[in-house]
Amino acid sequence: MKNLYHRKKQPETVRRALLDQAARLAVEQGMAAVTVQAVADAAGVTKGGLTHHFPNKQALIEAVFQDLLNDLENSLHTRAQADPTPQGSFTRAYVIEIFDMDPNEKGGLLSALSVLLLVDPRLRTMWAEWFDTWLDKGQHTDGSMDLAVVRLAVDGVWLADLCGLSLPDRAQLRDKLILATYPET
């Protein structure tokens, strides 16, 4: 007899749900809430279903982090490619991306995971390798000390967002940082 309730397997859909639910839990309740059981429950799969995709919590966290890096990379690439001025295009894209993040949504998640960078050596390595790759690609356009200073200032904005600090005239700060990315004429 055929089982009428047999569900078709959709591994990519399940994997995506697991990543999304782990990210949601991290934002809403903090990293301590991201347990294998909690993520499986939130995604509507068994614990075994989760461990089929991710053998443990660390692998899940790394996959969420890599997923965020991929999203950030795609967004930065799109912005940099659309920039009519190649010199400083990566840095401008970075400024715009960070300032445009909603700390309660994508920015909030990246901020929450950036805190994890401080205590998780593997995620620090992933971030450093990702960032170095971007800088290597843009070395001829974004390798100057002035642009490095702008990127470090933007990282400070990201940290201020993470800490809930208010910034004086955020729009003016954004404009000033973007202006600093253009070559002097």
pLDDT digits (tens, 9 = 90+) for 65-115: 888 888 888 999 999 999 999 999 999 999 999 888 866 565 565 666 676
My answer on whether 72 and 47 are in the same domain is no
* Chain centroid, CA 149 distance in Å: 21
| Confidence (pLDDT) at 145 | 92
**32 or 154, which is more confident?**
154
Contact 95, 147 (CB under 8 A): no
CATH number of the domain within which 32 lies? 1.10.10
Domains contained in the chain, number: 2
User: Does 51 share its domain with 101?
Assistant: no
pLDDT at residue 117 in the model: 74
Q: Look at residue 83 in the predicted model and tell me its pLDDT.
A: 95
Query: Looking at residue 146, what is its pLDDT?
Result: 93
Q: Residue 33 sits in which domain range?
A: 7-55
Mark whether 38 and 104 lie in a shared domain.
Answer: no
Residues 91 and 16 reside in one and the same domain: no
More confident residue, 8 or 76: 76
The answer to whether position 45 is within a domain reads yes
For residues 30-47, average pLDDT: 91
* Predicted pLDDT at 131: 83
Answer whether 30's CB lies under 8 Å from 112's CB: yes
Question: Which residue among 55, 78, 94 closes a domain?
Answer: 55
Q: With bands split at pLDDT 50, 70 and 90, how would you rate the model's confidence at 11?
A: confident
- Decide which of 139 and 27 is more confident: 27
Question: Does any domain span residue 133?
Answer: yes
Helix (H, G, I), strand (E, B) or coil at 33: helix
Does residue 185 sit within a domain? no
One domain, residues 149 and 72 = yes
